[in-house]
A and B are shown apart, each in its own frame.
Chain A
Amino acid sequence: MKKLFAVFLLLFLFPDAHAEEAYVLKFATLAPQGSTWMNIITDWANKVEKESQGRLKFKLYGGGVSGDEPDVLRKIRFGQLHGGAMTGHGIGYIYSPTRVLEIPFLFSSYDEVDHVRAQLMPEIREGFHQNGFELLGWMEVGFIQLFSRAPIYSIDDMKKSRIWLWQGDPLGTAFFEASGLSPVPLPITEVFTSLSTGLIDTTIAPPLGAIALQWFTKTPYMTSMPVMDGIGGLIVSRKFFDGLPNDLQKLLRRTGEEAGARLLVETRRDNEKSLAVLKQHGVTFTSEWKDKDSDLYDLRDRAAAILAKDGYIPAPLYEKARKSLNDYRAHKGKK
């Protein structure tokens, strides 16, 4: 009887002792199963599990099963989740100054984006850290364009449009306030229907987003000039990260950085492909913008001033981004 008891004890104890060694990172994303994002995140998870010899595992919640990004952040605070792939929407709730990289009419090429981001990255990382998160990898949603029923060539054209504003988004709100436009605030879930009913006739999205959400079927025109760059990051809560042994922390950082770099490249490629698909589907790209650059820069600066006043994006950080961009442009011009 004693022997039998000992066997039972062993059976019960061993799996437990083993489980204690394995850390499980519960990680959420809106990206659907089989999408480029989810494929890369899955590769990342497999790599971590393999290289840690099973000591660190991912449990992936893809396709938005954990809710939208604010839901995911709430679940992280309650300890039900530990990390996720976030876009600017969610990042705004973690460390809003990061969204300096999303200020409208700031960047005109991905080279500029990459240069300025590299300059600001130490500050951004520190901001995440101070706010209870670690930024493991950087990715992006990509350049965001205006999609509309009628062609748009200027801010004046925009004034004549019924433009969607993502309800509650501080960045969009500041932009519209600065430009004197009156947008139509709606949750993102109502955009497609509202484009159909005519409540709105203009929306913003990255090319891949406009396809995935089928918005492009309602908007025959797209501006070639990007309105802004949509950011994104692979994040983990410090509560989880700090509990990991040093070697696993290093592993997660290194592989997270690699996954982010891959996501960045692949997302840009997907957006490039999406532009071709949009063209095939008869979307007309309007390339000539009538406003002078200086007018757009004024507008951009006014929006930034509003965001600084609210403390959403501190003025010094915006200045730093602008200076870095100007330096880059001047340097590039000399080449």
Chain B
Amino acid sequence: MPHTPKSLPRSKTALMSIPRKLARATICLCGALLGACSMGQMVARSSLPIIESGNVAMNRETDLDLARAAIPANLKLVEGLIQELPDNADLRLQAAQGFYGYAYGFVEDEDNRRASGLYRRGWEHARQALAASGFQGDLAAMTTEELKRQLAGLSRRAVPALFWSASCWAKWIDMNRNDPARIADMGKAAELMERVLALDENYYHGGAHLFFGVYYGARPPMLGGDFERSAKHFEKARAITHGKLLLVDMLQAEYLAHQLLDRKQFHERLIAVVNAPSDIYPEMALVNAIAQQKAGRLLAKEEEWF
């Protein structure tokens, strides 16, 4: 790992030309800083606000082609910064969210295998963030009882890590519905999201409610589905986002209306999504554009599904 301050000798030479006292003081200061972190780490840390702003800008993007082309480079940049600051939870969360968004928006409808790999990477990053929030032990290996005990001890501070861990994990499982090893973890992913619901149901635009809308709406009752619960969660997500997040209607159509074989609801919700103005929710313009594109694809499946 390139954490050693390679540039130190050169800096020292350059400092010789400035008054001695000041130079000594500067060296002391640098030494103190460098003792705590490398040059790379310092640069990485100072770029965190830029990364954060970049994320905000990406969420406001309305051009899907531009977003599709730009996200991979951003992800690699974030992963590069993670090389410098592997324990930085914010960066890990940026990576998790980025991998999730890229896989969901641009990969999973075309390439299930590639999406599976991307969600998995997102999950690995989110797990690191979760560990930084005080979660101990191996999430995948522990029993459900142990998991519940640990979750009960987590505070609101852990919500982002819990949310992105659960989201990436559930999607990774979703991409592998023919693999018992993945299916077995679905209950645990749901436990993490239950904790989000309890700690902060508004986090990420009511994302936990969207999660459970899909969770209970995507299966028949015989396999654990619960249509009333699903509808209630979608309602809640809609209320939290004041009806501006198009993902809510799109997902309700894709999962609950499909599962209920309710063609009318399916059609009407998706048509509403497709026809919604593009500036309805500027902070979440990219997600809305993705929802609109997916709604169009789903409408093309109407004849086949109903």
Contacts and interface: CB of A to CB of B under 8 A. Distances in A.
A59 B224 CA distance: 25
Given A64-B219, A65-B258, A65-B261, A213 B224 contact: yes
B147 to A, nearest CB: 10
A63 B221 CA distance: 11
A282 interface: yes
Contact of B219 (A32, A67, A211, A280): A32
A100 interface: no
Contacts of A270: 178, 180
Interface in A28-42: 30, 32-36, 39
Interface in B173-205: 174-175, 177-181, 183-184, 186-187
A197 interface: no
Interface string B161-176: 0000000000000110
Interface residues of B, number: 28
B222 interface: yes
A192 B177 contact: no
Interface residues of A, number: 34
B155 interface: no
A334 to B, nearest CB: 37
A188 B221 CA distance: 9
Contacts of A213: 223-224
B178 A64 contact: no
A103 to B, nearest CB: 23
Interface in B204-240: 218-225
Contact of A273 (B112, B175, B180): B180
Interface string A201-219: 0000001100111101100
B26 interface: no
Contacts of B305: 65
A274 interface: yes
Given A59-B304, A65-B258, A217-B187, A211 B180 contact: yes
Contact of B178 (A35, A67, A188, A282): A35
A323 interface: no
B278 interface: no
B11 interface: no
A246 interface: no
A258 interface: no
12 contacts: A30-B222, A30-B223, A36-B178, A63-B219, A63-B220, A189-B222, A207-B180, A214-B186, A216-B184, A270-B178, A270-B180, A282-B143
Interface of B: 112, 143-144, 174-175, 177-181, 183-184, 186-187, 218-225, 258-261, 304-305
